[in-house]
Amino acid sequence: MDVINTDIAIVGAGGAGLRAAIEIAEADPKLNVVLISKVYPMRSHTCAAEGGAAGVIKANDSLDYHFNDTVGGGDWLTDQDAVELFVNEIPRELTRMEHWGCPWSREDAGTVAVRPFGGMKVMRTWFAADKTGFHMLHTLFQTTLKYPSIKRLDEHYATDLIVDGGRVQGAVCLEMSTGKLKLVKAKAVIIASGGAGRIFPFTTNGAIKTGDGMAMAYRAGAALKDMEFVQYHPTGLPGSGILLTEGCRGEGGYLLNKDGYRYLQDYDLGPATPEPVLKSMELGPRDRLSQAFWHEQKKGRTAASKWGDVVYLDMRHLGEKLINERLPLVRDLACSYVGTDPVTDLVPVRPVVHYMMGGIHTDIDAATTIDGLYAAGECACVSINGANRLGSNSLGELLVFGARAGRHAVEHIRTTKPAADKLVEKQASDAEQRIKLLFERKGKERVSVLRNELTHSLEDGCGIYRSGDLIQATCDKVSEVRDRYKDVMLEDKSSVFNTDLFQVLELGAMIECAQTVAVSALERKESRGAHQRLDHVERDDVNYLKHTMAFYNPNGDPRIDYLDVVITKSQPAARVYGAAAGGQHI
Amino acid sequence: MSRKPYVRQMSKTSWFLTHSRYKHYILHEVTCIFIAIYAVILIFGLFRLGQGPEAWQGWLDGLRSPLGVIFQILAFGFAMIHTWSWFKVVPQAMRIQRGESFVPGNLIIGAHYGVLAIISLFVLILAGVA
Amino acid sequence: MSTRTITIEVLRYRPEQDQEPFFQSYTVPCDEDWVVLDALNYIKDELDRTLSYRWSCHMFVCGSCGIVVDGEPKLGCKAFVKDYGDKIRVEPLGNFPIERDLVVVIDDFIEKLESVNPYLIPKEEKSIDDGEYLQTPAQLKAFKQYSMCINCLLCYSACPQYGLDPSFVGPAALALAHRYNMDSRDVGRKAREDVVASHEGIWECSFVGACSQVCPKDVDPAGAIQQTKITSAIDYVTSFLPGGNR
């Protein structure tokens, strides 16, 4: 096995991983960084983020407002020390992106423009038309090219973390073009591998979002936190699940039911005013909007389409000029995929799985419970999102905590002495054996069948509304799939760019993530944010104002534990949207 | 077992037959040959003019011969194609920004045809035709 | 939902067993709103686990799924089955070595991208505390189009110049250099010139224009290259004028 020695290895080259790499390169150009990614960096799913990144910059805004919006939006399951740090640091991070060339949309005076976003009291979302994530990703990737200390292993699939002597010592990865395993020995590892939206059948997430990094850390002993909180974005295109940004509503789009009625006013989000009001109606938080769809569907007020039940996104009154300027991708996608032009037609939409609030548990320095292992971005859970993430907080998160992960990883290797590493080679060869076994074994379970059963079961039991019996059925199904996976069939035995192999490995990661989602959901007997239970409809701060921690158990359900939420200055209260929220008029 | 990337070679002599857009491109490129030959003929005319009236008349007769006329018609046709295909892409090479918008491509192309018409008219007047 | 059955002919190449690529046909029942990528996913899941191709976002933005559909470079997620006949021919992108099946080797492009210094080179470093560089909407507009490239490489596949001479820097990389050159915050044109204005750079381009015709993001690399030629030519001429550097 090839061995690569480096100082810091980063798994994942999306926004968080690239940001971490730059931070390290700037902190100490002598440190070697190896950036491992299963795709070329510009393919990472950060590119699909459309709407923008929230950061306080305008005179009418304040850090407290952003803090309060985020904490309340997360239904008080956020760690308030993390949120406070986040809202403080994000404006500087976004400015830094500007200095690196990110083409933020501008005001006439040349200053950065902001747009309204759901659940935010004041306009504070920086944007680059409706391709914010794309521009951020490419800006970050291109900026990394300035630093010779950053070495990339593009199209390398990380399979295992090496943990020895209680400390992370590196990672094993597969070179996709040859099928060869490489051992990357490192003094610190940062996981920035994104979410696991692909464990659901209907998702905005790209094919690569299979939770590989989450599962890798989980198997190595790190806790997966708050995995039951899965965000449904209210406006996905039916059929494909393609995302239409919240910016559509930020710019003034309406959500209509089949009668052309702005139904959100029936769900404590009104009154319905023609001009958008922040924290009201279409600018309410994502969990509440997706839940409203579910109720409309039950009432028979959604429209039937060939792709199933839908509501309509009405942007016709925004005019062609604004749509072309601020929502060009949305127009392109809607015209291409559902044959409706937002300038002249209603666009059918429905809620779609978009984001995992949960992830690898970290502290505010992005450190996990494993010494030397850090995590940032969607794969991590530093608990700024709580039970429901506000739109435009995730792009900020990957910058703030990507940078912190980099900084603290540097700090870590400066202050810790080398540890015993006698098991490193052995663990690496174990990893090799596991893959070898896949090639040698016959197997009879098909990847596509297992994946199909897994994802549909998650949708059935862990959708917008859940109940104990349905979640239990999902838990049982996931356990069954997990067992059957032991007999999974690798049909392609070749070594060059064997995508069958990668799908088999990805499915393994998906199953681990799915199991933590289902079991965590079963154990949380309350309704909070994106976790709504029909059999426990109230929020229960007495018993569940705490984080779910799932620990790996090779032979059964994860072990579940709980961790207190950090509350500093905002005591749990009712979430208020609509007129009473006092949101800014636009 | 390992990598063995397969390289497909592009034919240096027939690549332009593989797609209609390449054929258009080659047509555009080939047309300039006729324009070049016509330019050589014009320069040769100047040379003949310097040699005296008889030489000049011979050159003129040559142009008026059936072969000369056919060539000039062809060259003219190709020049038109060449003009059209060049003008078509001018807005790509020459973007004119006014505030937040760009001058529409058709306007730029139209302006080129306008200038072409004015110059042609001027030349025709000089030649005593118009 | 109505379906129709189509035949997808895929150019296969498995380096460990094939001497050269060959076409393999698959019969696929398609929904009317499928894209070619959906058909490939169907083949992978239901018919043949050994077919390899790249894809991720399925929404024209990650740039992974560039392929050649019926002779034309396309994004697999933007090639709608309804726009094609009952037999669709799918090949890997042209002008790149085939790694396997529809996967091509793009190392050459990555090197070229890296060679043009594609990052902001400001006149002077500004402290974060001093806020953003000012840039008006008009200044943004001047380069915005060239910042939209998703590196899908359809342009390299369509470019005969790159096919004939692989040393050509190529459309996407040159357009990206132009993107930074045109940015009001950037002064790095000189630093990029060595590569951009070299023989393998803009002057290798004969303006076939195919790159811009196949670009799924309307980046217009051909335009970017011609504009760079004009600027470079003016630079060259002015260098001979008094005060010039020749």
pLDDT one-digit tens code per residue, C23-69: 999 999 999 899 999 999 999 999 999 999 999 999 999 999 999 99
Question: Closest residue of C to A92, CA-based?
Answer: C128
| Catalytic annotation, pick one of A124, A249, A466, A547 | A249
Report if residue A166 sits inside a domain: yes
Q: Touching check for B20 and chain C: CB below 8 Å? A: no
The three-state secondary structure class of C199 is coil
CA distance C226 to chain B (A): 5
Report if residue A576 sits inside a domain: no
My answer on whether A286 and A217 are in the same domain is: no
My answer on whether A65 and A176 are in the same domain is: yes
Report if residue C243 sits inside a domain: no
Given this model, what pLDDT does residue A99 score? 98
Q: How confident is the model at residue C2 (pLDDT cuts 50, 70, 90)?
A: low
My answer on whether A342 and A482 are in the same domain is: no
User: Token pair for residue A498?
Assistant: 């064997």
Give residue-wise pLDDT tens across range A42-69: 999 999 999 999 999 999 999 999 999 9
Q: Strands across the sheet with A373-375, in order? A: A150-154, A33-37, A8-11, A188-191, A373-375
Please, what is the average pLDDT of chain C? 96
Give residue-wise pLDDT tens across range A156-176: 999 999 998 789 999 999 999
Sign for the pseudo-dihedral over CA of B12, B18, B22, B28: positive
Are C62 and A494 within 8 A, CB to CB? Answer: no
Place of tokens 């001979």: C240
My answer on whether A59 and A197 are in the same domain is: yes
Output DSSP code: residue A122: S
- Total structural domains in chain C? 2
Nearest to A190 by CA among A365, A437, A448: A365
How many Cβ atoms sit within 10 Å of the Cβ of residue A559? 12
Give residue-wise pLDDT tens across range A443-469: 999 999 999 999 999 999 999 999 999
A233 is catalytic: yes
My answer on whether C96 and C174 are in the same domain is: no
| Catalytic annotation, pick one of A233, A286, A326, A533 | A233
Report if residue A475 sits inside a domain: yes
- Judged against a pLDDT cut of 90, whether residue C246 lies above it is answered with no
My answer on whether C129 and C227 are in the same domain is: yes
Report if residue C26 sits inside a domain: yes
My answer on whether C146 and C232 are in the same domain is: yes
Question: Closest residue of A to C41, CA-based?
Answer: A448
How many Cβ atoms sit within 10 Å of the Cβ of residue A169? 26
User: Token pair for residue A340?
Assistant: 């409706």
**Which among C97, C207, C210 has the least Cβ separation from residue B21?**
C210
Q: Of C104, C134, C150, which one is at a domain's C-terminal end?
A: C104
My answer on whether A345 and A469 are in the same domain is: no
Are A109 and C134 within 8 A, CB to CB? Answer: yes
Please, what is the average pLDDT of chain A? 96
My answer on whether C180 and C220 are in the same domain is: yes
The three-state secondary structure class of A169 is strand
Mean pLDDT of the A487-497 span: 97
Phi-psi region of A392 (alpha: psi -120 to 50; beta: other; left: phi over 0): left
Are B101 and C223 within 8 A, CB to CB? Answer: no
Given this model, what pLDDT does residue A421 score? 73
My answer on whether C36 and C111 are in the same domain is: no
User: Token pair for residue B57?
Assistant: 């008349």
Place of tokens 């810091």: A8
My answer on whether C118 and C139 are in the same domain is: yes
- Judged against a pLDDT cut of 60, whether residue A39 lies above it is answered with yes
> Residue C13's domain spans which residues?
3-104
Report if residue A380 sits inside a domain: yes
My answer on whether C144 and C214 are in the same domain is: yes
Q: Which chain C positions have a beta carbon within 8 Å of A337's beta carbon?
A: 33
Question: Closest residue of B to C162, CA-based?
Answer: B10
Q: Which chain C positions have a beta carbon within 8 Å of A48's beta carbon?
A: 57, 59, 61-62
My answer on whether C213 and C115 are in the same domain is: yes
My answer on whether A81 and A223 are in the same domain is: yes
Given this model, what pLDDT does residue C185 score? 98
Q: How confident is the model at residue A423 (pLDDT cuts 50, 70, 90)?
A: confident
- Total structural domains in chain A? 3
Q: Of A352, A367, A397, which one is at a domain's C-terminal end?
A: A352
Q: Of C54, C75, C104, which one is at a domain's C-terminal end?
A: C104
My answer on whether A479 and A333 are in the same domain is: no
My answer on whether A315 and A452 are in the same domain is: no
Q: Across the strands, what pairs with A157?
A: A174
Nearest to A15 by CA among A407, A398, A401, A408: A398
User: Which chains lie within 8 Å of chain C at 3 or more CB pairs, if any?
Assistant: A, B
- Judged against a pLDDT cut of 90, whether residue B129 lies above it is answered with no
Is the whole-model pTM more than 0.95?
A: yes
Q: Are C36 and C81 in contact (CB under 8 A)?
A: yes
Given this model, what pLDDT does residue A127 score? 96
Q: How confident is the model at residue A434 (pLDDT cuts 50, 70, 90)?
A: very high
Size of interface B-C (CB pairs under 8 A): 76
Report if residue A578 sits inside a domain: no
CA distance B36 to chain C (A): 18
Q: Are A167 and A421 in contact (CB under 8 A)?
A: no
CATH at residue A437: 1.20.58.100
Q: Touching check for B101 and chain A: CB below 8 Å? A: no
My answer on whether A221 and A76 are in the same domain is: yes
The CATH code that applies to domain B16-75 is 1.20.1300.10
> Residue A499's domain spans which residues?
424-564
Give residue-wise pLDDT tens across range A93-127: 999 999 999 999 999 999 999 999 999 999 999 99
A389 is catalytic: no
My answer on whether A168 and A207 are in the same domain is: yes
**Which among C16, C95, C226 has the least Cβ separation from residue B93?**
C226
Q: Which chain C positions have a beta carbon within 8 Å of A447's beta carbon?
A: 49
My answer on whether A31 and A144 are in the same domain is: yes
My answer on whether C22 and C100 are in the same domain is: yes
Report if residue A188 sits inside a domain: yes
Report if residue A569 sits inside a domain: no
Are C132 and A112 within 8 A, CB to CB? Answer: yes
- Judged against a pLDDT cut of 90, whether residue C221 lies above it is answered with yes
My answer on whether C64 and C100 are in the same domain is: yes
Q: How confident is the model at residue B128 (pLDDT cuts 50, 70, 90)?
A: confident
Report if residue A583 sits inside a domain: no
Are C64 and A43 within 8 A, CB to CB? Answer: yes
Q: Touching check for C60 and chain A: CB below 8 Å? A: yes
Are B21 and C99 within 8 A, CB to CB? Answer: no
CATH at residue A263: 3.90.700.10
Q: What does the alpha-carbon distance between residue A434 and residue A159 come to, in Å, rounded to a whole number?
A: 10
Output DSSP code: residue C49: T
Domain ranges of chain B: 16-75
Q: How confident is the model at residue C245 (pLDDT cuts 50, 70, 90)?
A: low
Percent of chain A with pLDDT over 90: 95
Report if residue C245 sits inside a domain: no
